[in-house]
Amino acid sequence: MGRLGPTEIILILVVIILLFGAKKLPDMARSLGKSARILKSEAKAMKDENKSSAPADPPATDEQPPAQRTIQAAPGDVTSSRPVTEPTDTTKR
């Protein structure tokens, strides 16, 4: 019990095609892949950011404006790029 045989898998695929329609399935798969790429790139950026943020003493009186970087949804996709303001550390040491 709990195992799916070939007939059950075929039946599930037929139900999915009937529910969503054959025209929408490629678009859904494409958007799912795009979302996975975005998630992967954001996770990598966060991991790299954590590695590069070594504990260093910030300048006491020299306030710098927050740096901006652009997050790109997918490689080569410039339509969904947006500037992002990095959060600043407002705690005093």
Mean pLDDT across the chain: 75
Return the CA Rg of the chain. Answer: 23
Is residue 85 in some structural domain? no
Is residue 78 in some structural domain? no
Is residue 57 in some structural domain? no
- Counting the structural domains of the chain, the total is 1
CB of 72 closer than 8 Å to CB of 80: yes
Show the domain range for 33: 1-48
Comparing CA positions, the residue from 69, 90, 92 lying closest to residue 81 is: 69
Tokens representing 30 are 């494409």
Is residue 12 in some structural domain? yes
Q: pTM higher than 0.75, yes or no?
A: no
Q: Which has more confidence, 57 or 68?
A: 68
Q: Which has more confidence, 32 or 2?
A: 32
pLDDT at 2 over 80: no
Is residue 75 in some structural domain? no
Is residue 65 in some structural domain? no
pLDDT at 83 over 90: no
